[in-house]
Amino acid sequence: MSWSRSLRVVLVLIMAAGLTVVGLPSRPAPAHAAAGDAVTLDAPTWLHSSGAELHWSRFAGPSVFDRYEVHRWATAGFTPSAATLLATIRDIDTTSWVDTTAAAATAFSYKVVVNGTDASNEQRVTLPADGQATLTLQPGPAAGEATYMSFGSGITTTCYAYFNYGGATNLRIGSATNTVVHRPLLRFDLRRIPPGASVTSATLTLWYGANSAAPGEVDVYRATRAWDEGKAVYPGSCDGSGADWREARAGLAWSAAGGDFDAGTKWASVPATSHSSTGGSNAFTVTTLMQNWVNGTTPNLGMLLKINNEAIPSTTPQKYFDYYSDDYGTATQRPKLVVRYADGSHATGPAVSIAAPAANARVGGSVPITAAASDDGAVSRVDIAVDGSVLASDTSRPYTATWNSTTATNASHTITATAYRRAAPGRRHLRAVHDVLEHPGSAAHRVRRPVHAAHRHGEGLRPQWQRHDQLAERVCGQHRRHSVQRGVRPERARAGG
Ligand SMILES: [Ca+2]
């Protein structure tokens, strides 16, 4: 039996009505920022002289994702705009970006903006000197390796020498009136530092709270046997999870109880006067030890800390106190290692060249000048100058100017193109190049203008850039270099010879 045409029409109408009630799949709403769209920009832990390595949280809505934008500016509290934009990322899963275009030894602020309007928190950094990197390691419970060992000759707890504290929030150090001695172990993962890199400085910082201890000098030694952190929390337990006074790891004894370390070399120390009863931090300069490890001279098995005189105090004050460990709740007060080393980083500037007129060309009359510029950030403008006088500031491609050469002398002339990147101006540099942005690049052609309205051009300069406090000097240097005669004689002189 076939359905009548009218029945089929009715069925179609019913289905259409049903879909209307249920709701057809709607198109995605246009991308727009909404409350909650902003991502969180992590504090950069790896800085190069050319910029910071940035990481942020993955976009989680509620709007439809369109793009991340990375912004940088010299001034804290800046408002992201076209002038501060460095990069646009359309992949929602790309949540990191490496800045390679900032100026060395300069402070910058970064933000990541979602969908063009919703800005992240700001992270401010001061970049290391040219050619240097700064790696900050301050790991938390998952990645950190920090624990301490303890033993008391007067303690009767059967397994006390096997107490582990790998998951404790404290790193106890020093001697107590109850005969217990404590020694922390710490290890940092240095694999991000290239083997053999020259270490400029390395500082270990440990924080501690208020206490009345008088620990005396605190020393840093190099551990000489691999050990496990373990996971027992305070007040410790004999769970066999990691290092204790007798064992480096479960079932593997130290060569000597209390941990194996190179007692012959004290790599760093802080004096007794460094301890404050109101709490604070101790900074240990461990540059030489880090260089030793980076060079591979000895394996990085971590550091063992102890007080210089571990003799048991007969009366208070106690000689023991607690540093905060990698498991401490306040992330900024966990053990921190800052290593500065040579990584050969150099900020890349905009590339610029003069496309027309060609080098050594003879020109006359109204001379069109065209420059090309590119950058991994954004070129904000190109200034085109003749003999140092700017003819035009062009903000969009093609970067052009027109030079009326009829009023120029019949001699060599220098055409200069200077590209500017969108970045943060340093206020102190405004005098040198007013309203100029960071990292100009420049190229120059020397031009020679003979009698009959023809110009000879000299060689192009290798494109280069400098921080703009150096720009004026560098550009003057270019002019000096290119004012040198290259054996090109005016037409008139040649005709007479
Ligand atoms: Ca720990």
How far does residue 158's CA lie from ligand 1's centre (Å)? 24
Q: For residue range 287-305, what is the model confidence (pLDDT) as tens digits?
A: 999 999 999 999 999 999 9
Same domain, 108 and 186: no
Q: For residue range 396-408, what is the model confidence (pLDDT) as tens digits?
A: 778 889 988 888 8
Give a yes or no: residue 308 inside a domain: yes
Spatial separation of the C-alpha atoms in residues 57 and 139, rounded to whole Å: 18
The Cα diameter of the chain in Å comes to: 111
Q: 34 or 143: which carries more pLDDT confidence? A: 143
Please provide the average confidence, as pLDDT, over all residues in the chain: 79
CATH of the domain at 83: 2.60.40.10
What is the pLDDT at residue 43? 93
Same domain, 313 and 246: yes
Give a yes or no: residue 445 inside a domain: yes
How far does residue 169's CA lie from ligand 1's centre (Å)? 7
Same domain, 236 and 281: yes
Least reliable range by pLDDT among 29-33, 53-57, 143-147, 372-376? 29-33
> Into how many domains does the chain fold?
3
C-beta separation of 172 from 320 below 8 A = yes
What is the pLDDT at residue 361? 76
Expressed in percent and rounded to 5, the helix, strand and coil fractions of the chain are: 15, 35, 50
pLDDT bin (cut points 50, 70, 90) of residue 188 is very high
pLDDT bin (cut points 50, 70, 90) of residue 347 is confident
What is the pLDDT at residue 452? 30
Tell whether the model's pLDDT for residue 495 goes beyond 90.
no
Q: 145 or 469: which carries more pLDDT confidence? A: 145
Same domain, 282 and 223: yes
Give a yes or no: residue 41 inside a domain: no
How far does residue 57's CA lie from ligand 1's centre (Å)? 26
Give a yes or no: residue 21 inside a domain: no
How far does residue 165's CA lie from ligand 1's centre (Å)? 7
Same domain, 152 and 75: no
Least reliable range by pLDDT among 248-252, 289-293, 310-314, 352-356? 352-356
How far does residue 239's CA lie from ligand 1's centre (Å)? 15
Q: 138 or 18: which carries more pLDDT confidence? A: 138
Same domain, 298 and 360: no
How far does residue 134's CA lie from ligand 1's centre (Å)? 24
Same domain, 385 and 331: no
Tell whether the model's pLDDT for residue 429 goes beyond 60.
no
pLDDT bin (cut points 50, 70, 90) of residue 44 is very high
Same domain, 152 and 280: yes
Give a yes or no: residue 28 inside a domain: no
Q: Which structural domain, as residue segments, surrounds residue 293?
A: 145-342
Same domain, 164 and 286: yes
Rounded average pLDDT over 15-22: 40
Residues 132-170 as b or e (16 or more Cβ within 10 Å = b): bbbbebbbebeebbbbbbbbbeeeeeeebbbbbbbbbbb
The residue from 284, 314, 342 where one domain ends is 342
Q: For residue range 129-158, what is the model confidence (pLDDT) as tens digits?
A: 999 999 999 999 999 999 999 999 998 888
Q: 492 or 261: which carries more pLDDT confidence? A: 261
- Alpha carbons within 13 angstroms on the beta-carbon side of residue 392 total 15
Task: State what percent of residues in the chain have pLDDT above 70.
Answer: 76
What is the pLDDT at residue 24? 43
Mention every residue, 6+ apart, whose C-beta is less than 8 A from residue 175.
181, 182, 307, 310, 311, 312, 313, 318, 319, 320
How far does residue 28's CA lie from ligand 1's centre (Å)? 46
How far does residue 313's CA lie from ligand 1's centre (Å)? 27
- Alpha carbons within 13 angstroms on the beta-carbon side of residue 149 total 28
Same domain, 62 and 96: yes
What is the pLDDT at residue 5? 52
How far does residue 205's CA lie from ligand 1's centre (Å)? 16
Same domain, 372 and 243: no
Give a yes or no: residue 394 inside a domain: yes
Token readout for 30 is 């246009």
Tell whether the model's pLDDT for residue 351 goes beyond 50.
yes
Same domain, 289 and 388: no
How far does residue 274's CA lie from ligand 1's centre (Å)? 24
How far does residue 164's CA lie from ligand 1's centre (Å)? 10
Give a yes or no: residue 265 inside a domain: yes
Give a yes or no: residue 84 inside a domain: yes
How far does residue 309's CA lie from ligand 1's centre (Å)? 25
Q: 339 or 416: which carries more pLDDT confidence? A: 339
What is the pLDDT at residue 350? 65
The residue from 304, 320, 342 where one domain ends is 342
- Record the pTM: 0.69
Q: For residue range 89-101, what is the model confidence (pLDDT) as tens digits?
A: 999 999 999 998 8
Q: For residue range 58-67, what is the model confidence (pLDDT) as tens digits?
A: 999 888 999 9
Rounded average pLDDT over 24-39: 58
The residue from 73, 97, 131 where one domain ends is 131
Q: For residue range 357-383, what is the model confidence (pLDDT) as tens digits?
A: 877 777 788 888 888 776 655 677 788
C-beta separation of 169 from 79 below 8 A = no
Residues 417-447 as b or e (16 or more Cβ within 10 Å = b): bbbbbbbbbbeebeebbeebbbbbbbbbbbb
